Amino acid sequence: MVDAQWLKDRVNRQEGFALHNGITVTEVGEGYCACRVEMSEEKCNPHHFAHGGLLFAMCDTAAGTAATSLGRGVVTRSADIHFLRPGTGRVITAEGRVTDHGRTHAYCVAEARDESGKLVCAATFEMVFLEGQENV
């Protein structure tokens, strides 16, 4: 496993997409990541709910960071997301977990919740480990 604080700092300070969208990693463990977004009007769809693209990005960040915590860089190969209810409130959180991994792939699940704890969406991801990205 890579150093959890180093990985958390890397995402929070260097990953432009996460920074641009206000996605902040709050916790990293072996095969686990939690993140959050403080909502604003710019992050909402026309109905004033969390934009689906933002929810997907949060789940992808959580799952990808969870897989990276195993010590190798990853990219998303495939994903499946189910939007269950509108993302409302001031804060949305997401958690990602590695459910299985091998030499070349990691399989992850991620969930996003509103500030009352209600499940907003659930996703599965297939991550591919990058060659030459060992010990990130």
* Nearest CA among 113, 107, 97, 108 for reference residue 36: 113
Give the pLDDT confidence score for residue 136 in this predicted structure: 58
Give the pLDDT confidence score for residue 100 in this predicted structure: 98
Give the pLDDT confidence score for residue 131 in this predicted structure: 82
- The per-residue b/e assignment along 13-37, b for 16 or more CB within 10 angstroms, e otherwise, is eebeebeebebbbeebeebbbbbbb
Give the pLDDT confidence score for residue 50 in this predicted structure: 97
Give the pLDDT confidence score for residue 10 in this predicted structure: 92
Give the pLDDT confidence score for residue 132 in this predicted structure: 73
Residue 39: how many other CB atoms lie within 10 Å:
22
Q: Which two tokens stand for residue 97?
A: 């977990």
* Nearest CA among 132, 81, 85 for reference residue 108: 81
Give the pLDDT confidence score for residue 65 in this predicted structure: 97
* Burial tier of 136 (Cβ tally within 10 Å: 0-12, 13-18, 19+): middle
CA-to-CA dists, residue 62 to 89, 96, 126, angstroms: 20, 5, 13
Give the pLDDT confidence score for residue 1 in this predicted structure: 84
What residues does each domain of the chain span? 4-134
CA-to-CA dists, residue 13 to 8, 17, 81, angstroms: 9, 11, 27
In the chain, which stretches have pLDDT less than 70? 133-136
State the angle between helix axes of 4-14 and 52-68 in degrees (0 to 180), rounded to the nearest 10: 150
Any idea which fold 4-134 has? Answer: Thiol Ester Dehydrase; Chain A (3.10.129)
Distance CA 45, CA 28 (A): 29
Give the pLDDT confidence score for residue 133 in this predicted structure: 67
